[in-house]
Amino acid sequence: MATVRCNQPQIFPPGTSLGLYPAAAQHTGTKPHGSAILETTTSAGGSGLVEITNVLVAENTPYVLFAEVGTGPASYRYVAVRAESYVGEPAAFARRKAAARTLVRG
């Protein structure tokens, strides 16, 4: 079991419904192919935070978060994320967390 985190309120505004897909499902300009592994909603408190921890999320695996915000192809929004396991010593946790932030922002 691993965790996917994303805090991109400019892409996924608070309260947005989105799905977690394998990275290969991303198709720019259209909806992802296949079904979402999981569906969730960004936090509504203004932060837009998404945090998914589930047995269906595999560690060190690339995924994309997808949401349709608005209407039409311009409203299809993707963010690439990588699932991480945050188990171990605090220094290792900090390195993994920093790497996850880089992937989300990149």
Averages of pLDDT over runs of 10 residues in the chain (106 residues) are: 82 88 91 93 75 85 90 82 66 60 50
Domain 2-105 sits in CATH at: 2.60.40
Find, among 58, 48, 61, the residue nearest to 6 by Cα.
48
Domain boundaries, the chain: 2-105
Cα distance between residue 28 and residue 77, in whole Å:
9
Query: What is the value of pTM for the model shown?
Result: 0.72
pLDDT at 94: 60
Find, among 58, 9, 4, 63, the residue nearest to 36 by Cα.
63
Residue with tokens 């946790």: 93
